[in-house]
Structure formats: structure tokens, C-alpha cells
Chain A
Amino acid sequence: MAGDHVLTVDAVVKEYGSKRVVDRVSLDVKRGEIMGFLGPNGAGKTTTIRMIMGITAPDEGKIVFHLNGKPSSQIPKARVGYLPEERGLYREARVMEILVFLGGLKGLSAQEARKRAKQWLERMGLGAYANAKVNELSKGMAQKVQFIAAVMHDPDLVVLDEPYSGLDPVNQDVFKREIIALADRGCAVLLSSHQMNLVEETCHRLFLINKGKRVLYGPIREIKAEYGVHRVVMVVNDPKWRLPESRSVESVQRDGQRWTCLLRPGTEPVDFLRELPPQSPIEEISVARISLHDIFVRIAQGGEAA
């Protein structure tokens, strides 16, 4: 992954009336990187994305693109692709017509747009639907067409707002593969999603926003290392057994023979294991870091990152 920035968002603020929807958010996206942009509903993700896309303007702060060799606060629209959360297609139009139109808006000639649209449709398994009307497509097919419209002009930066929503697992995999391929080709990807497992599998770094403010920002591995505390799951075959008091444990849940212990931040699993009495009737034991999903849920519910 190259280190050069494609996009820099610097302390942007957006207010609607007296409500501050985005509060001094700063982030950057690098070439060849997939940046996860996460947050609960109403956290300010779409507002931030709309500011990045130049659809609305920030009240404060600046957004800088580094695409043509020099920084610019004007979005180079022809070099950026966008798949919005509120998306659709002209219902009465045909797939190829729409792709040629949208490709044209990105600066492609009609001939080039048609050629690329055809290649992408084949690649996404929609070759036979080039002349189909949009209202004849399934939701997944329509979503693929929307994705093609966002990337067919070979952009340097792609902003994908909830690309996986509404897709079945097979199509989620198709999208995941294509998004990774985009980054491999050097495209910077800003990806907003609620599918944490897919974010975890796809993104290099992530930015977590809540109530308009930054909560987490950095490489996924580091975030998980820093905030992803360990969870110990034990199967105990003695119903009378009790877990001894421990400073290492933040919370305990018991479900029959199954005990789930969430360790305090900074606690190594081995320290917790040492605290267990030697004669404990433990049949099974497993140790793992909590998932990104758990980190997200804890933050969305108003807790700290860890």
C-alpha cells in the first residue's frame, strides 16, 4: 500500500440549524487503501460523505484532494466515483443507456463508456442484461449496475456508502472481491458499511464516528489490539462451580455450562488463566479478541471504545 494521500479531510464541521451534525472530523485516505468509515445510524457518516463529494459544503474546515499532482479543494469529479446510500436507477431506462449517460458525465466518450460498461457487465455476470430495462432487474443486479456506474471511469478515489446492504452472501463476496481489486489497482476507497465482518475482511484502516465526532481512527489491527479486549469462553461441567473474584474480569455471562468472561483492557489472557483454581472442572476453553462488531456495538451504545 502506497503512502501518498488522495483525500484529506481537515476538521470539517456541518451544522443544520443549531444542531452540529459533524464536529471537527479529520481523516485521510491513501492511494491503494480501503478506509472503513463506520458509525451508528445518524452518526454523521452520510453528511461527511456528501461534503467529500461536493454535494454539500462544510461550514468549517477543508477537504483537499491530491489527484492531479497538486492539492485542490475543488473535487475533481471526473476522477472520483460515488455509490451513495440513497441510490437507484432510472426505472424506465435501459442498463446500457444509464451507464453510457453516467460514464459521459464522468468525461468518457459514448463509445468508450459503452465499451467499458460492456466489460464491467460481463465481469459482474450481467452481460445478458445490457439492454434490459432497470425495472426488469433484481435488487442485487441493480446494485451491481450502480457499482459499475461508480467505478467504470477508473477513478482514483471511490466513495462507497453501504455497498453491501441488501446483498445476499454470494453477491457480498462479489462486491468484496471487486473492492479489494480496486485498491490493488491503486484506487483509494472510502467504504461506509454496517457489515462489520466485511469491513474487517476488506479494510486496511477505519474511522469510527459517533454523534458527529471521531471515536476511533487507525489501522484495524492496531484498533483491535488496543480496544479489542479478550473474551474467554469456558465450558464447565460442574454446576456448583463459581468463578473466583478477579480484577482481570470486566464482566461475566453464564449460559448453563457455558461461561463467557470479558477481560479488562490491558489484561493478558494468561494472567486470567493463572487466577483460575487448579482444580477447576473446565472441559473446554477458548480465548479470542472481541470482534470489530463488538467494538462498534459498545461504542454505538454509548460506551467507550474499550
Chain B
Amino acid sequence: MTGIGRVIVWEVGRHLRNKQFLIGIFLMPVIFVLIGGIPSLIEYLDTPRQEVYGVIDQIGALPMIETQLEGTEVRVVAGDDTQTLAQAVADGEIDGYFVLDPAFIATGEIQVVAERPTRVNRQLLTQALSFVMQQQRLAEAEIGWEQLAYVTAPARVEAVSLSTVVSADGENGGNAEDAEQMAHTVMAIAFAGALLILIVSSGSMLLQSALQEKRDRMIEVVLSSIGPDTLMFGKIIGQFILGVIQLGFWAAVGLPIAYFAFDVPIGDFIDLSLLPTFLFFTLLGYLFFAAIFVGIGATMEDIQSAGNSQGMVFMLPVLPFVVVGPISSNPDGLIARIATLLPITSPTVAIFRMGFTKVPVWELLTAGVLLLVSTFIVVKLAAKLFRVGMLMYGKTASIGEMVKWLRQA
């Protein structure tokens, strides 16, 4: 086995024997579920308070209001007189009361008497009472309910793909195209997400690994046996394998659960024609950021001593998050096209964008070439930093020192 092979085996082996890493594999999905589930749980637990209003109904519209408010957090009950209802409000039995009389139908004005007027759900009451008022007025004008429904029905807007309209096969062909587009979108989002996780988790482990090599004072012993480039690439590849093992484990557990327990049609979301492009951007994207992380990691004494500039570097992989919104709403827009070409965003954005639109081939090719060239340069620079930085003990390098090393090495 070559030196690089031994470093890879060592990196992978010692992490797979490391309890923290193994716990992390199991814990990360739990954390994701918690992060995703907690807002829903809070929403579920935080059920809105039911408001109750007494109604003195002089026009026989109470059943109509009850129907309008059905399923909402506002309920109405019939009342006999204002004194009784006022007492009920004062006792806290109901939130307020109002009188439905012909004057309301004529003027549209109504007073809701409440202990705390600011807490009256004016929106729901306005909707329900407006409906009642319109009904009563239409009845006065002798216009029926069906005519009213016809007049007041809202427009229903539906977005369909061009292929649905022009497909020679009619409806079925269009559906097939839609299904394919859906597969692209799901697969692209899954790949882009996986790449981000791979970069962030493997990148942080790479950084830790470089720091550990310095902290444990092993670097000189190791460099007496293999070159610094061999060590660096061994670490990068080793951490990539660990990241893939991590993602593979989650997929192996998560996909069957999604398929069998939640009837998610996993097979429908896989389009092998996208795979080569996705893999190209995934591999280069990982190498690009991994080289940055390991190079910068070598210049640091420990994670706490990272200066602001070094700390900023670790934010770079999450930069695509900023443009995810604009890209998904306008995948062919200027922001999407620029982010596809910039090497710092292109790996994730190119994959993500392919899920929403047909990215022109020239754009993908240009993005690929730019990423390839950038990765080559970044790897070269990282190797220089790694070579010098790993032998420096006791302090974190300044930007000036790093520039000097890059010139000298």
C-alpha cells in the first residue's frame, strides 16, 4: 500500500473507532428531525385560545355566522339581552358580545363590546359578518345565493408546464414531463443538500484532523516518512470517504423508512442521466473546500485562536444559502447564472439549479472549467500553506505571514 493509502486507511479507521464520530452519525439525523420538527411541535402545542362571543340576534342570521366561523378559533352563542351578556363578559365567561339588528345591515357598522377590545379577533369577525351583511343585502335586492357565489368566486391560478399544453400525447405525455421535472427537482435538492453536509461536516473534521496533527506533535514524525502533499491528500480523501459513509448510512436508514413508512416514491426521484454532472460538481466542490479548510487549518494553533479572517473562510460553503431563494423562484435569472459560474457557489448552485430548469450546456461547461481551474489553484496554494503551517507551533499565522509563505514556499 502506498503512503497515501495508509493515511486514508488511518484517517478512516481511527474515526470509525472513535465514539464521538459514531455517536455523531446517529445523533445528526435526530438533530435534523428536532430542528425541523420543533417549530411544528410548538405550533401544535400552542393551539390558539377559543374566543366566545354572545350574539343578540334580531335578524335570524346566527346560524349563518356559526357556519362561517366553523373550524376557527371564534365561536358565537345566542344571548337574551345586553345586561346578561355584559355580566357574562365581566365574569370572564365570554369574550364579548354584539347585537345583530337591521341597522347593522343598513350601515354595516357594528360594535363588539369586550373587556379587552384589543384582543377581539376582528379579522374573523369581519369576514363572517361581512358575509352575513352581503347575504342580507342581496336578499333585499332579490339576488339568490347561487348568483352571489358565481359573482364573488375568486380566480383560481394554476401553473402548468409548456409540455402539458403542446404534448402530442396529450395529458399523459405532459404528466410524464412533469414527473421528470419533479424527479430532477427532488434529486437536485437532495444532492445539493448532501454536498453541503459533506463539505461542512467533512470540512470541519479535516480542520480538526490538521489541528490534531499539530496538537499531538505528530507532524514531524509523519513528514519524516511521507511528503506533506501525500499527507494532505490522504486526509482529504479519508475525510471524503468518512463523509460518504455518513451520508450512506443516513440514506440506508432514511430511504427505506421514507419508502415503506411514508409511501415516498423514491424510485421516481432518481434520474441517472443527471448523475455524472452531479458527481462532477460534488467531487470538485468537495475538493475545492476541503483544500481551503485543510490549508487554513494548518495555519492555526487551535480552533479558538482562529482570527476573524480564518473564521470567515468556514462560512464560505454556506454562501449558496443566500441565493437559494432567488434561484428557486427565478432559476434562469442573473443571480442564478452568476452563482452557477462562481467557483465558490457553483458546486451547490449548479446542482440545485438543474433541478428547476434546463441549464444551458455552455453554462455548465464554463462553470465546470472554472471550478476545475480554481480547484487546481486552491489545492496548490493549500499545499504550500500546509507545508509551512504544519511545522509552526505555538501561534496562529497572520494573513501577512500566510502571504509570505505562499510567496516563499
Contact = CB atoms under 8 A, between A and B. Distances in A.
Interface of A: 50, 53-56, 77-78, 80-84, 86-93, 97, 101-102, 104-106, 146, 149-150
A55 B212 CA distance: 19
A149 B221 contact: yes
B119 interface: no
A78 B3 CA distance: 11
B225 A88 contact: no
A38 B47 CA distance: 79
Interface string B178-191: 00000000000000
A84 B221 contact: yes
The range of chain B's interface size is 20 to 34
Contact of A77 (B18, B216, B224): B224
Interface string B3-27: 1001100100110001000000000
A258 B225 CA distance: 55
Contact of B226 (A77, A97, A149): A77
Contacts of A102: 221-222, 225
A1 to B, nearest CB: 25
Contacts of B221: 82-84, 87, 102, 146, 149-150
B217 A104 contact: no
A93 B18 CA distance: 9
Contacts of B224: 53-55, 77, 80-82, 84
Given A77-B225, A104-B1, A105-B222, A90 B393 contact: no
A149 to B, nearest CB: 6
Nearest to B216: A88
Contacts of A92: 14, 18
B218 interface: yes
Contacts of A86: 217, 220, 393
Contacts of A105: 3, 6-7, 222, 225-226
Which residue among B216, B217, B224, B226 has the maximum number of chain A CB atoms within 10 Å of its CB?
B224
Contacts of B218: 87-90
Contacts of B223: 53, 55
Contacts of B31: none
Nearest to A91: B216
Contacts of B279: none
A29 B291 CA distance: 39
Contacts of B226: 77, 105
Contact of A55 (B7, B216, B220, B393): B220
Which residue among A56, A84, A106, A146 has the maximum number of chain B CB atoms within 10 Å of its CB?
A84
A184 B218 CA distance: 29
Nearest to A49: B220
Interface in B221-255: 221-226
A80 B220 CA distance: 13
Given A90-B218, A104-B6, A55 B225 contact: no
17 contacts: A50-B220, A55-B223, A55-B391, A77-B224, A82-B220, A82-B224, A83-B221, A86-B393, A87-B221, A90-B14, A90-B212, A90-B218, A92-B18, A97-B13, A101-B6, A105-B225, A146-B221
A4 B218 CA distance: 32
Given A54-B224, A86-B220, A102-B222, 14 more contacts: A50-B220, A56-B391, A78-B225, A81-B224, A82-B221, A84-B217, A84-B221, A87-B218, A87-B220, A88-B218, A89-B216, A91-B216, A105-B7, A105-B226
Interface string B365-409: 000000000000000000000000001010000000000000000
A90 B15 CA distance: 12
